Amino acid sequence: MSGGVDEALRKLLGASESLDEDLGKLLRKCRPTDRRGLIGLALCGAAYEHAVSQRLLLEAGLTGTALALCRLHFEAVVRAVWTIQCANDAWLEDFTTPVEAAEHREPASQVAVGRMLDHIERDVPHVAEQFRLLASTIKAMHSFVHSGSLAVVHSLMPEYPQEKLIAMLMNRNLLHLYVANACIIAAQDPNLVPRMRLLREKHANCMPSLPSKL
């Protein structure tokens, strides 16, 4: 692998760490005002944890696990946006109702990613457009999650193509913007809205072309 690609990945990891720090500060400022916001912000936190873990794994050279986390990260972001902007009150009521069971059982049905994307497309179509594009790249990560053929091939490779790691990291960073937007909506705090513009402007160099609106 050329030194130029190595250096590009190192620089992107550094820029991604800076983005992580700024998003972490925003998440800490967001406070839920209702049940929907509480669940949504918790999912934003889960998405953030997955994303930071991806970066740390890449820095450690543990690329297979980082690739597997792509799917967990994407689904957490989609579920956060869906919960905050699309989930109906009946689902929220079911989700927050205590369940008595000897073993863990989900209090409400886990809505499939495809259905959530359909709902997002109906209610916030500009977000769904970008999610659909990312979903096409995330689908292959299913093989990494379930130790399929791609996980085997990856383990046998002397080095995973760093161009693909760069693309993965750029998409991860773009998803951070959707997490930021979702948590601001969940917090219902107009004082936090200007932070979206700051995040976009400060970190535009570490993600793909930014969508015109979120």
pLDDT for res 101: 67
In a domain? residue 34:
yes
Residues of the chain with pLDDT under 50: 1-3
101, part of any domain: no
Within a domain: residue 212? Answer: no
213 lies in some domain: no
Q: What pLDDT does residue 96 have?
A: 87
Residue 148 lies in a domain: yes
> What pLDDT is stored for residue 102 in this prediction?
61
Is there a domain that residue 97 lies in? no
Please give the pLDDT value at position 187: 96
Quick one: pLDDT at residue 91? 92
203, 173 in Cβ contact below 8 A?
yes
Domains in the chain, number:
1
Residue 78 CB-density burial (10 A; 0-12 exposed, 13-18 middle, 19+ buried): buried
Does any domain span residue 211?
A: no
Residue range of the domain that includes 154? 3-91+110-206
- What is the structure's pLDDT at 195? 93
In angstroms, rounded to a whole number, what is the distance separating the alpha carbons of residues 94 and 92? 5
Note the pLDDT tens digit of each residue in 6-45.
899 999 999 999 999 999 999 999 999 999 999 999 999 9
The pLDDT score that the predictor gives to residue 212 is 67
Residue 105 lies in a domain: no
- pLDDT at site 147: 75
- The answer to whether residues 136 and 45 touch, using CB atoms and an 8 Å cutoff, is no
